[in-house]
Structure 1
Amino acid sequence: MPDAIHIDDLAEPRLTERQRAAIAGAPPVRFDVEAVLAAARAGTGLDDFGADDFRQRLGLWLASFDADADLTDLGRATVFGECVRYASTRLRLEDLLRRHSEIGQIAIDRPIMVAGLPRSGTTHLVNILAADPRLRSTPLWETMEPIPAPEDQGTPDPRYVRTAAMWGAFEETLPLMPAMHEMAPEHVHEDIELQGPDFSSYLPEWLSRPTAWRDHYLTADQTPHYAYAKRMMQALTWLKGPRRWVVKSPPHMENLPALIAVHPSAIVPITHRDPVAVLQSAITMIAYGDRIRRKRQDLPALAAWWIDRIEALLRRCVRDRDAIPAAQSIDILFHEYMADQKATVARVYAMAGLEMTPEAEARIDAFLAANPRNKHGRVVYDLIGDFGIDIGALRERFGFYYDRFPVARERVTGERT
C-alpha cells in the first residue's frame, strides 16, 4: 500500500471486476416490515420481538431506503440485510431476558462513554482504553451479533469467524477502505449498534440518503433508545464480564441529555476536531463506498447532506455541553491528543478513577505500537476539487463551534492561507 493514496475516480468510479460482480450478484428485496420480520423469525426460530413500537421506526427506515432511488440492488440488499440483522438481535435479546430476569438488575456503573465527531479519533481512543482488561467493550464481531445463538459454541467464537469473513470480503471489494476506517473484528466498534435493534440512531445515514428518517430522528427524544441500549449492555455483561464499560459513538455528541439521563454516573470524554477536516475525511470515505451502493455519484449533494448533519450535531453539542457534570467529562482537542496520546489517556483514567496498572500500561503501549496513525496508508483528500466546497464559507458556517472549542484549524488541499 503506498504511503499517499489518491482516489481520483470518486465522481466517475472505475469499477473492478469484483465490484461489478458484487453489484450484479445482489438479490432483489422488498422493503416491507413483515418481510424483514419474517426473515428474522426464520433465521432465529424465535417470534417475540418485545414492545411493538419499533415497527413504526422500522417502517420509516424501509420507506426512507425505498425512496432513495439511486441505491443499486446491492445497496438495497445491504440495508435490507442490516434490518434483518437488527431484528434478529432483537428476538435473541428478548428471548434471553425472558429466560433470565436477573439481567435487568445488573448495574452499569460509571461507564466511560466516548463522544466526538466522526473521524476525530474516537475509534482510536476507545481501542486504547479497551486494551485495559478491566474494561468491557464492544468489539466489532460482538456488535454484529451481540447475543449468541444456541449453536454458537467453541473457540474461536463462530460469530468472530463470520464477522472476519464478511468484513474480509468487504475490504477485498473496497481495498482502500482500511486506510480510512479499518474494520478488524477484534477492534472496538460503536456502541450505537446496540440501538440498532430498536431501530433508532443515525445508522441509516451511513448507507443511504434516508431523508424521512433523518428528519424524524432529529425531532425525536432518544432517551428510550439509550435505555434500550443499556438493556443490551446488561445482557452482554451477564454473558461475559468485566462489569465496567468503555464505549464510543459520535451521536453521543448530539444526545448528551439522553445519555446522562440513562447513565447518570457516566464518564464522558468528548473529542473535538476541526469540522472541515472531519468532513473531508468522512465524505471521501462514504463516496468511495458509494461506488457499489449507488447508481450515480452526486458528490456536491453528498457533501451538502453531511455538512448539514455535522452542523446539526455540533449545534446540539454546543447547546447541551453542560448537561454533563463538569466532574464527569473532559474535552479532548484532536491536535493535543495526537501530540501526546498517553497524556490524553492519563486524563481519562484520572477522571474515571482508574489506576494505571503495569498490565494496563503494557497493553496500551502494545496497542499504540501496533496501530500507528496512517497504518494502511494516507489518503489524500480534496474537498475543493472533488466536492466543489467553498472552504472559507464552510469555516464561517462552523464559526459557532470554533468559538466554543479551540480546535486547531487544519489546512486542507487547495485552501488559501
Structure 2
Amino acid sequence: MLDKQRYEAQGLELDASKLIVEAQGVAGLTDFGPFEFETALRKLLDCFAKDMPLSEQGMALLKADIVRLLVNRLRMERDIKAHPEILQEDVSDPFIIIGLPRSGTTKLHKMFSAPDTVQKTLFWRMQNPAPFPDAVPGEPDPRIAAIANSGLLTDDNPDMNAAHPIAIEEVEEEGLVYQMSFKDYTWSQLLDSPEYFDWIMSESSTEGYSLAKRVFQYLQWQDGGKRGRPWVFKSVPHFAYLDTLLEHFPRATFIQPHRDPHKCIPSFAKFTSGLAHIYADSFDEHKHGAETLRTWSIAMKRFLAVRERLQLDDRILDVDYELVRHDPMKIVREAYAKSPYELSPEADEKMLAWHTHNVQGKHGKHEYSLAEFGLTPDDIEDNFGHYMSRFINKH
C-alpha cells in the first residue's frame, strides 16, 4: 500500500528541477547535449519517492548520484564541442559478455580485461567519465579518490563482497554509464518498482545506447585513441536490449555463459538486496524476490525472441558455467578466434594468471536460497523452462 505521506515528503526532496540546477552550478555549464532526459529523470525520481523508503543516507546518496551523472553529461558535451573528433572514435567491435546475472559474466569480464591490449571499464572511470577540473597531468587522477564516497565499495560488506567485490581500480560493468540516460534497466536492479520497469520496457532504448556509445568514444579519446584495443563490456541489462546493442556496436563479439536460473535468480536477488539496503530504510525480501523473478523472466523472453528473429546463434559463443569455473581459457581462445583480434601470448598469460589467482570463494562464500526471497523451484521452471530446455538441461 502506498504511504502517501512518505511519498509526498520524498517527492519534495527528489525534485528534478532543483537537481538539474545544482548540477549546472557545480559544472558551471548548461548544455546537456542532444539527448532528452528530463522525462526519464522525473519518472525515475517519482518511482523512487513512491516505491523505496529511503534512509537519510540513501536520500543523500541518490541525490548525489543524480547530480554526478548530470555533471558528467555537462562536462562531456563541453569537451565534445571543443573536440568534435571525439565522435570519430571507433568503438564498434568490443567483446561483450551477455547472459543472466550470476552466470559467470563477471569472471569472464575481469579475465578478458586483464591484459593491456584491451580497454578497461575501470570503476572510477565508469562513475565519472568526465575529468575533474582540478586534475593535474602526471598526478593521481582525482576521480579515483572521489569514488571512496560512492557508497558502493564492498570491503565493509561481507555478503556483497563475497558475491561481487567492487574496488576502485578494478573493472566494473558499464551499466554505470547507461544510468546516465535515467531510462535503463540498471536502475531497476536497485529500485523494486514495477511501474518504472514496465515503463522502460515500453520505451525505446536507442537514445540510451547512443548516449553510452558517445561516452565510450569520449573515454577512448581521453586514453589516446583506440590503438588497436577493443573494449570489453559486460552489463547484465544488455540481455533485454540485444537488438539495440547490435545497432550501436555492430562488429561486437558476443560471449554468453549459461547457468541454471535456480541458482542465478536467488544469487542476484541476494546481491541486489545488499545494494538496496545501502539506500532503503526498510526492505521486503519477498517483494524483491518476486520483482527479480519477473524482470528477468521478461528480459529472457525478449532476449530469446530477438536472438531468434535476428538469427544470432552464429554470432554468440555459448558456454557452460562449469567451463567458466574450470577452463575459462578455452572460452577466451574461442572468443578471440571469432573476433577481429589475435590473442597474443602475453595477453593469454595475463588472463590465465587472473584465473589462477582468483578462485571462486576468494572473498567469502556467497550464500542464498530461493526460499528467503519467497520463491520456489516451480517459479523458476514456469518462467525459465524454455531457456533451460535449450541451454541448461542439455549439458
Normalised by the size of structure 2, how large is the TM-score? 0.90
> Secondary structure of the residue that 2:375 maps to in structure 1?
coil
Relative to structure 1, the CA distance from residue 234 to residue 77 in structure 2 (aligned partners, 3 Å threshold; closer, same or farther) is: same
Task: Output one character per residue of 1:263-295: Cα deviation in whole Å (capped at 9) or x when no partner.
Answer: 221111122221121111111122334444323
Out of 49, 63, 75, which is 1:66 matched to?
49
Corresponding position of 2:92: 109
Corresponding position of 1:346: 333
Shift of 1:74: 2.3
Relative to structure 1, the CA distance from residue 201 to residue 292 in structure 2 (aligned partners, 3 Å threshold; closer, same or farther) is: closer
Corresponding position of 2:387: 401
> Take 2:348 and 2:281, find their aligned partners in 1: how far apart are those partners?
48
Shift of 1:383: 1.9
When structure 1 is superposed on structure 2, of 228-237 and 333-342 the one drifting more is 333-342
> Take 1:291 and 1:304, find their aligned partners in 2: how far apart are those partners?
17
Corresponding position of 1:6: none
Shift of 1:320: 1.0
Q: 2:194–2:291: 8 Å Cα contact kept in structure 1?
A: no
The reply on whether 1:193 has 2:215 as its aligned counterpart is: no
> Take 2:91 and 2:239, find their aligned partners in 1: how far apart are those partners?
20
> Take 1:225 and 1:382, find their aligned partners in 2: how far apart are those partners?
34
The reply on whether 1:257 has 2:228 as its aligned counterpart is: no
Relative to structure 1, the CA distance from residue 151 to residue 256 in structure 2 (aligned partners, 3 Å threshold; closer, same or farther) is: same
Shift of 1:380: 2.2
Shift of 1:303: 0.5
Q: 2:186–2:237: 8 Å Cα contact kept in structure 1?
A: no
Task: Output one character per residue of 1:321-350: Cα deviation in whole Å (capped at 9) or x when no partner.
Answer: 143644432112212222311111111111
> Take 1:182 and 1:64, find their aligned partners in 2: how far apart are those partners?
28
> Take 1:83 and 1:215, find their aligned partners in 2: how far apart are those partners?
21
Relative to structure 1, the CA distance from residue 168 to residue 318 in structure 2 (aligned partners, 3 Å threshold; closer, same or farther) is: closer
Task: Output one character per residue of 1:46-105: Cα deviation in whole Å (capped at 9) or x when no partner.
Answer: 221123621111111111111125222222222222211111111011111110011112
Q: 2:267–2:369: 8 Å Cα contact kept in structure 1?
A: no
Corresponding position of 1:160: 144
Shift of 1:28: 11
Corresponding position of 1:297: 283
Q: 1:333–1:407: 8 Å Cα contact kept in structure 2?
A: no
Identity of aligned residues (%): 30
> Secondary structure of the residue that 1:374 maps to in structure 2?
coil
Out of 272, 283, 296, which is 2:269 matched to?
283
When structure 1 is superposed on structure 2, of 82-91 and 397-406 the one drifting more is 397-406
Out of 155, 161, 164, which is 1:178 matched to?
161
Q: 2:29–2:75: 8 Å Cα contact kept in structure 1?
A: yes
Out of 234, 238, 242, which is 1:248 matched to?
234
Corresponding position of 1:42: 25
Corresponding position of 1:328: 315
Q: Which blocks of at least 5 consecutive residues in structure 2 are unaligned?
A: 1-9
The reply on whether 1:359 has 2:342 as its aligned counterpart is: no
Shift of 1:169: 8.1
> Take 2:374 and 2:214, find their aligned partners in 1: how far apart are those partners?
44
> Secondary structure of the residue that 2:30 maps to in structure 1?
coil
Q: Which blocks of at least 5 consecutive residues in structure 1 are unaligned?
A: 1-26, 410-417
Task: Output one character per residue of 1:189-236: Cα deviation in whole Å (capped at 9) or x when no partner.
Answer: 122222222222112223222333211111112122111111111111
> Take 1:326 and 1:52, find their aligned partners in 2: how far apart are those partners?
33
> Take 1:143 and 1:67, find their aligned partners in 2: how far apart are those partners?
28
Shift of 1:172: 5.3
Aligned-residue Cα RMSD (Å) equals: 2.3
Q: 1:49–1:94: 8 Å Cα contact kept in structure 2?
A: yes
Out of 219, 222, 230, which is 2:213 matched to?
230
What is the letter of the counterpart of residue 389 of structure 1?
A: L
When structure 1 is superposed on structure 2, of 41-50 and 290-299 the one drifting more is 290-299
Relative to structure 1, the CA distance from residue 396 to residue 208 in structure 2 (aligned partners, 3 Å threshold; closer, same or farther) is: closer
Q: 2:103–2:257: 8 Å Cα contact kept in structure 1?
A: yes
Corresponding position of 1:213: 196
Relative to structure 1, the CA distance from residue 307 to residue 362 in structure 2 (aligned partners, 3 Å threshold; closer, same or farther) is: same
The reply on whether 1:375 has 2:362 as its aligned counterpart is: yes
Relative to structure 1, the CA distance from residue 289 to residue 49 in structure 2 (aligned partners, 3 Å threshold; closer, same or farther) is: closer
Q: 1:28–1:77: 8 Å Cα contact kept in structure 2?
A: no
Task: Output one character per residue of 1:93-119: Cα deviation in whole Å (capped at 9) or x when no partner.
Answer: 111111001111222232112111111
> Secondary structure of the residue that 1:332 maps to in structure 2?
strand
> Take 1:69 and 1:251, find their aligned partners in 2: how far apart are those partners?
21
Corresponding position of 2:185: 202
Task: Output one character per residue of 1:293-322: Cα deviation in whole Å (capped at 9) or x when no partner.
Answer: 323332111100000011011111111114
> Take 1:106 and 1:292, find their aligned partners in 2: how far apart are those partners?
37
Q: Which runs of 4+ in 1 moved over 4 A?
A: 167-170, 324-327
Corresponding position of 1:8: none
Q: 1:257–1:324: 8 Å Cα contact kept in structure 2?
A: no
> Secondary structure of the residue that 2:93 maps to in structure 1?
coil
Corresponding position of 1:95: 78
> Take 2:109 and 2:153, find their aligned partners in 1: how far apart are those partners?
23
What is the letter of the counterpart of residue 254 of structure 2?
A: V
